[in-house]
Structure 1
């Protein structure tokens, strides 16, 4: 499983001109699911995303400017977007190989379980729609982007 996380000032997902998910400041997380991934893997990834410290601690002068807070401590939102292209192999040729991505039917079930788990761990969770043609709009804060793998 891979997650490309971005610290954002705001982010939203639109499908057919209808906003289906939106957050103010927080984390936009693109999630890629592989063949070997399971509910346990998904839970570990959500736990890692929610506790990954990518926000500054503005209250403690000794930690000013340091990435010392996670999204929960910063009071931000979490926007989860399924993105199978994260699983592409790109080391050979000029065309991505998606062979390591989980099959769509299984991936949809696991992604929905991942969302359900995230919502039990943190109340400020929004999502895109699995398999839809989504337009993602975001303002990256920093910019800060991290590729997490489990």
Structure 2
């Protein structure tokens, strides 16, 4: 699985003008299930994200995890993270998992984050979404598990 993790002061996702999810302060996760990914990958990704030390402590150092900071998360499915741009100018997405598998794994990441104690909301799988965020730092991390 691939994820782009952003520490945000706030983030929201809307579908057809209606807000379907939000967070803040916390994390915005753009998640892509790849061919061959399993439930084990989803659990591992959620665990890594929950424990990633990217929040500031009292001294201003990035020593705290989302769990330590009491952060929340917004998880959005983003198959375009599977883009292959090695040939030509049109990205290919054939490395992404099939939609039914991708949806189950993306929702599993959100469920695992909730189970770990991070309040989590999601976008709407397969929808045209508008994402608004204020990146804090900026702090953006690319993860692959």
For residue 79 of structure 1, the aligned residue among 58, 66, 74 is 74
User: 1-side partners of 2:118 and 2:5: how far apart?
Assistant: 18
**TM-score normalised by structure 2 residue count:** 0.95
Match for residue 89 of structure 1?
84
Q: How many residues align?
A: 145
Taking the TM superposition and a 5 Å limit, the aligned residue runs for 1:15-94 are 15-58=15-58, 64-94=59-89
Match for residue 109 of structure 1?
104
CA shift for structure 1 position 123: 4.2
For structure 1, the residue ranges without an aligned partner over 5 or more in a row are 59-63
**TM-score normalised by structure 1 residue count:** 0.92
Question: How large is the RMSD of aligned CA atoms in angstroms?
Answer: 1.1
For structure 2, the residue ranges without an aligned partner over 5 or more in a row are none
For residue 146 of structure 1, the aligned residue among 129, 138, 141 is 141
User: 2-side partners of 1:33 and 1:86: how far apart?
Assistant: 9
Match for residue 9 of structure 1?
9
Larger gyration radius, structure 1 or structure 2:
1
Structure 1 runs of 4+ with >6 Å offset: none
